[in-house]
């Protein structure tokens, strides 16, 4: 029989038309545990829309047609606009509309942050770049609380579920978005080196800023929290993009960054020259003020990375469930089962930890939850974000050559995958923050011990890992050189404790054997024998509605 080259055989159909949230058992279980069964149900519209061909196509287009800086109008006037493809606006409108910005801070739902975290996790699977302005909008509110009047003025705008794009005074808009300007050329992590100056005006609490910012993402947002040096030291300022009289604040967008990934999102270099600003918090308390925003964005780094992992896992498990080689489905090959099961374990551990931390935000008035969040956020940010590039690369390889081709969507995930480890405190900075928390706040170690203690006796490998971690803590005595080792061990114990309590036995068993029991050979796909790999793969494989 002649070969018909016009019809492709043995290719997986596109993964569209599934509810990316409901078909993710690990996510649903985490939401039920740390939120409620109703919370999981409420997320359905987000999951269904995120899985449609339409949404996936908007994600592709927003990355293909990247934002464009328009510094001047046709007459030479400075306008500092950024032009986006309509697909960017389509994604933003829905992301904000689903309440993924600052809405949880004004909600009386006791699970508002878990709901939003899972929604963000699911919706980011359309495309990750537009998560940046949404995250910063979510994160600005806790920092704004340093000033009652500014919080009262800005929180309702940021909590709005209306996406209202364009440079107009915030009062005239149905919703606003926030950004942050910390990083400068001479120092990002070490913000004490910031050179941008703040000069007080004649009006109390008002200043002008003079300097630059080396990275400020989403420069079209309506308001920014910015660090600058005042006479009393490094201080946080609120900087609106447009002033109340409708004129544009002096924020010159010098250029947009040409980035590895995150291409749908605009990240800019700014110059500030007489930029009007209001002080947020006291002079000299800039880091203390903006750290609240940093903490909330770190949660989104964990969730964003876990979301990248889940999307990569969904594509990998879907592909192997449809592609045959050497006489049978790839999904039935023992070695491929080992790879996909290992990916699934990594993904579930990341998901469980991210949603657990969102639950802590819902219960911050509980001292245990507040202390746990303080220590577990930098741990999780360090570990989950570090695992993402290798995990996504392995998932990409499950698709063989197809995975390396743009149309598969995997290259986009791969390019995005290192980012969450860099911004909001790079890997070392987060590992060192774990040491700082342990050194300055004794209650955070107690919180970690209580949290992992909830699973005591459930698995001897976990019990042993907790003991070893405490020994490492005692042996290393806060030495910076060992900060990563300690962060990894503490994060793994937290993940293990969550999985043995709340995930199916086969997932917890595989995690404990490999990540805690030492049966790990350096790459994914090296799970030891005696595990129920087919069950883990089945749980991870998306199901169409
Ligand atoms: C796409 C993108 C968007 C961004 N958007 C924003 C934004 O909107 N607003 C904003 O303010 N910033 C933004 N950033 C900047 C980002 O937060 C910084 O790049 C990051 O904090 C690291 O700072 P840096 O680049 O100056 O690197 P450095 O601080 O110079 O760090 C370089 C390396 O040294 C390590 N290091 C630093 N200190 C120590 C130490 N004490 N011991 C050991 N190692 C150390 C770091 O972990 C890192 O690996 C963005 C960055 C990217 C890539």
Mapping DSSP to helix (H, G, I), strand (E, B) and coil, where does residue 150 land? helix
* Token pair listed for 332: 């039935």
What does the pLDDT look like over 137-170, one tens digit per residue? 999 999 999 999 999 999 999 999 999 999 999 9
What does the pLDDT look like over 70-107, one tens digit per residue? 999 999 999 999 999 999 999 999 999 999 999 999 99
What does the pLDDT look like over 51-65, one tens digit per residue? 999 999 999 999 999
Q: Which residues line ligand 1 (CB under 6 A)?
A: 179-183, 187-189, 215-217, 259, 262, 267, 419, 422-424, 426-429, 432
* Residue 298 φ/ψ, nearest 5 degrees: -65, -35
Average pLDDT score, the chain: 97
By alpha-carbon position, which residue is closest to atom 44 of ligand 1? Answer: 428
Q: Distance between CA 468 and CA 163 in Å, rounded?
A: 49
By alpha-carbon position, which residue is closest to atom 20 of ligand 1? Answer: 423
Per-residue confidence (pLDDT) for residue 520, from 0 to 100: 87
Kindly report which listed range (232-241, 316-325, 409-418, 515-524) carries the lowest average pLDDT score: 515-524
Residue labelled with tokens 């995997």: 410
* Residue 336 φ/ψ, nearest 5 degrees: -65, -35
Task: For a ligand 1 pocket test, name from 421, 423, 479 the mutation site with the most ligand atoms within 8 angstroms of its C-beta.
Answer: 423
Residue 329: enclosing H or E segment and its boundaries?
A: strand 328-329
* Band (529; pLDDT cuts 50, 70, 90): very high
By alpha-carbon position, which residue is closest to atom 17 of ligand 1? Answer: 423
Residue labelled with tokens 């931390």: 357
Whether residue 368 is predicted with pLDDT greater than 70 in this model: the reply is: yes
Residue 26: enclosing H or E segment and its boundaries?
A: helix 25-34
8 A C-beta contact, residue 30 and residue 352: yes
**Rounded mean pLDDT of 413-437?**
97
**Rounded mean pLDDT of 27-43?**
97
Distances (CA, A) of 406 to 60, 91, 402, 414, 435: 9, 20, 8, 11, 40
Q: How far is the CA of 215 from the centre of ligand 1 (A)?
A: 9
Q: How far is the CA of 308 from the centre of ligand 1 (A)?
A: 21
Q: Distance between CA 370 and CA 364 in Å, rounded?
A: 5
Whether residue 411 is predicted with pLDDT greater than 90 in this model: the reply is: yes
Count helices and strands in the chain by DSSP H and E runs: 19, 11
- Non-local CB neighbours of 9 within 8 Å, separated by 6+ positions: none
Q: How far is the CA of 191 from the centre of ligand 1 (A)?
A: 10
Q: Considering the entire predicted model, what is its pTM?
A: 0.98
What does the pLDDT look like over 176-223, one tens digit per residue? 999 999 999 998 999 999 999 999 999 999 999 999 999 999 999 999
Q: How far is the CA of 188 from the centre of ligand 1 (A)?
A: 5
How many CA atoms does the CB half-sphere of 77 hold within 13 Å?
5
Residue labelled with tokens 């489905």: 329
Whether residue 322 is predicted with pLDDT greater than 80 in this model: the reply is: yes
Atom of ligand 1 nearest to the CA of 257: 1
- Non-local CB neighbours of 218 within 8 Å, separated by 6+ positions: 132, 133, 136, 177, 179, 265, 266, 267
Atom of ligand 1 nearest to the CA of 182: 11
How many CA atoms does the CB half-sphere of 39 hold within 13 Å?
26
Percent of the residues in the chain that have a pLDDT greater than 70, as a whole number: 100
Q: How far is the CA of 330 from the centre of ligand 1 (A)?
A: 41
Per-residue confidence (pLDDT) for residue 1, from 0 to 100: 66
* Token pair listed for 376: 């577990």
Whether residue 545 is predicted with pLDDT greater than 80 in this model: the reply is: no
Closest alpha carbon to 354 in 335, 370, 377, 386: 377
């Amino acid at each position: 029989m002649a070969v018909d080259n016009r019809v492709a055989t043995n290719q997986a159909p596109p993964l569209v038309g599934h509810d990316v949230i409901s078909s993710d058992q690990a996510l649903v279980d985490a939401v039920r545990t740390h939120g409620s069964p109703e919370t999981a149900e409420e997320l359905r519209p987000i999951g269904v829309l995120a899985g449609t061909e339409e949404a996936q196509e908007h994600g592709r287009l927003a990355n293909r047609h990247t934002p464009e800086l328009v510094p001047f109008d046709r007459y030479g006037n400075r306008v500092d606009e950024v032009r986006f493809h309509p697909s960017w606006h389509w994604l933003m409108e829905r992301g904000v509309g689903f309440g993924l910005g600052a809405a949880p801070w004004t909600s009386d739902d006791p699970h508002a942050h878990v709901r939003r975290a899972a929604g963000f996790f699911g919706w980011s699977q359309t495309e990750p770049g537009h998560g940046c302005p949404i995250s910063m909008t979510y994160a600005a509110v806790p920092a704004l609380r340093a000033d009652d009047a500014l919080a009262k003025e800005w929180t309702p705008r940021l909590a709005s579920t209306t996406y209202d794009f364009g440079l107009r005074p915030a009062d005239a808009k149905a919703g606003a978005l926030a950004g942050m300007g910390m990083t400068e050329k001479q120092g990002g992590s070490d913000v004490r080196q910031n050179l941008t100056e703040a000069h007080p005006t004649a009006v109390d609490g008002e200043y002008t800023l003079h300097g630059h910012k080396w990275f400020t993402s989403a420069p079209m947002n309506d308001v920014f929290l910015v660090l600058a040096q005042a006479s009393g030291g490094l201080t946080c300022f609120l900087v609106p993009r447009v002033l109340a009289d409708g004129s544009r604040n002096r924020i010159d967008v010098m250029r947009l960054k040409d980035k590895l990934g995150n291409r749908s999102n605009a990240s800019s270099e700014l110059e500030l020259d007489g930029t009007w600003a209001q002080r947020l918090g006291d002079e000299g308390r800039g880091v203390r003020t903006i750290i609240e925003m940093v903490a909330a964005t770190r949660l989104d780094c964990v969730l964003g990375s876990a979301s990248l992992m889940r999307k990569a896992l969904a594509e990998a498990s879907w592909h192997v469930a449809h592609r045959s080689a050497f006489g049978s489905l790839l999904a039935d090959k023992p070695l491929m089962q080992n790879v996909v099961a290992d990916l699934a374990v990594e993904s579930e551990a990341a998901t469980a930890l991210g949603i657990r931390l969102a639950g802590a935000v819902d219960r911050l008035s509980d001292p245990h939850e507040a202390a746990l969040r303080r220590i577990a956020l930098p741990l999780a940010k360090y570990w989950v974000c570090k695992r993402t590039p290798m995990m996504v690369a392995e998932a990409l390889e499950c698709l063989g050559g197809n995975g390396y081709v743009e149309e598969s969507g995997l290259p986009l995930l791969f390019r995005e995958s290192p980012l969450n480890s860099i911004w909001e405190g790079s890997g070392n900075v987060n590992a060192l923050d774990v040491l700082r928390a342990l050194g300055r706040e004794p209650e955070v170690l107690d919180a970690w011990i209580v949290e992992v203690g909830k699973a005591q006796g459930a698995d001897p490998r976990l019990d042993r890992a907790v003991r070893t971690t405490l020994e490492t803590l005692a042996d290393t005595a806060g030495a910076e050189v060992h900060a990563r080792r300690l962060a990894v061990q503490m994060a793994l114990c937290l993940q293990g404790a969550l999985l043995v309590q709340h995930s199916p036995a086969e997932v917890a068993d595989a995690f404990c054997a490999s990540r805690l029991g030492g049966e790990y050979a350096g790459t994914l796909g090296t799970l030891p024998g005696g595990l129920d790999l087919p069950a883990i793969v089945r749980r991870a494989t998306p199901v169409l509605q």
